[in-house]
Amino acid sequence: MKVAVYSPNWIGDSVLALPFIQHLKNHYPDATIYIFCKEWVSEIYKNHPAVDHIISIKNDSLESFLGTIKCGLKLRSYTFNNFYTLTDSFRSALILRVSGALSRVGYKSQMRSFLLTDSISKTKVKIHRSKTFVRLLGKSSLPVPKPELHISKGEKEWGLKEMIKLGIYKPIGLLPFSVDFKRTISKSIINKWIKGSRNDYVVFGSINDIEKGESLIRLCRGSSIKSICGQYSLRQSIILISLCKYTLATDSGLGHISASLGVPTISFFGKGSPDITSPVGKNVKIIEHCYPCLEEICHDPKKGNLCLKKIHKLDIEHAVKNLTKL
């Protein structure tokens, strides 16, 4: 039996999909599990014991209708029995239909029900996204385990050697950037948080965050801080984050990664709902100053979010004291 999963397109959502994938393997223990995903999230699923094969596509492969059809047709050779989509897009349901999968399961949205064999209604009650994914298995009472990323022994050895090259040991990871500017923690706020600290800090981010990381380093003169934004692949960043003492993270994909690795994680919420998208892990503390989000009166394009500015150094120190395994 072959079972496929159309992965979410964002890193954080892909991490939150891991409990669904584990339940799927438990439900079909003898099945071969395939993950269909975009390249930028494929490394989330690497080494996961419930995943047998990863089918990754270029991030722009589905931009056109023709590209979407071609992609679905290519999947026909896999002869999937069941295909689940964890995204709500019409495009994902179309790919499931064109793939020829016998059973096609997803939520009702964007008038796509006719493309699915099992079109499920979402609950009217707001629930955490990881639980929303698990509900697709038709059992709302299923417990939702914490997502776990898996790092091999060889990867960990590489990470330890890389930390030595960087000249740091057990640093505090700073994960301040988000693709959504309104979730990004400004450099002035971070400077206030770490000023006077004797700890080593490492700033993580993508190639798009290189300039922001360098700017943060310049502002935080006097602190022991390095930026490695854009220097490593996502998988390599995952390995290095796993070696941090703890992390200070905005509501972002890297924050979810940190939590799922079991790294003590302090997660800051300005815009967004922790009830729905908070990182899940063994050792996570959420700091928020206003909910629901008052975006229209809170967000200043030049100065950032007022809610994040209300988070003080004492809030962080208190959260750190309450973290375990430090």
197-252 per-position pLDDT tens digit: 888 999 999 999 999 999 999 999 888 999 999 999 999 999 999 999 999 999 89
Assigned superfamily of 154-322: Glycogen Phosphorylase B; (3.40.50.2000)
pLDDT at 317 over 70: yes
Q: What is the mean pLDDT of residues 248-257?
A: 94
* Lowest-pLDDT range of 15-29, 74-88, 214-228: 214-228
pLDDT given at position 225: 93
Q: How confident is the model at residue 156 (pLDDT cuts 50, 70, 90)?
A: very high
- Could you tell me the fold of the domain covering 2-137? Rossmann fold (3.40.50)
| CATH 3.40.50.2000 intervals, the chain | 2-137, 154-322
For the chain, what is the mean pLDDT? Answer: 90
For residue 307, is pLDDT > 90? no
36 is written with which tokens? 């269909």
User: For 95-142, how does the pLDDT look when each residue is reduced to its tens digit (9 = 90+)?
Assistant: 999 999 999 999 999 999 999 999 999 988 889 999 999 999 987 778
Question: What is the sign, positive or negative, of the torsion defined by CA atoms of 16, 17, 21, 23?
Answer: positive
Instruction: Kindly tell me if the per-residue pLDDT of 193 is higher than 90.
Output: no
Q: What's at 215, amino acid-wise?
A: S
* Closest residue by Cα to residue 213 from 233, 184, 192, 242: 184
How many residues does the structure list for the chain?
A: 326
Q: Among all chains, which residue has been given the structure tokens 């029900």?
A: 113
Residue ranges of alpha helices (H) inside the chain are: 11-16, 18-27, 39-42, 65-74, 90-99, 129-134, 153-166, 187-194, 210-219, 234-241, 253-260, 274-277, 295-298, 306-309, 313-322
Kindly report whether the global pTM for this prediction surpasses the value 0.95: no
- What are the distances in angstroms from CA 247 to CA 89, 93, 113, 175, 286? 33, 37, 41, 7, 12
CA distance 275 to 180: 19
Q: How, if at all, do strands 265-269 and 246-250 pair?
A: parallel
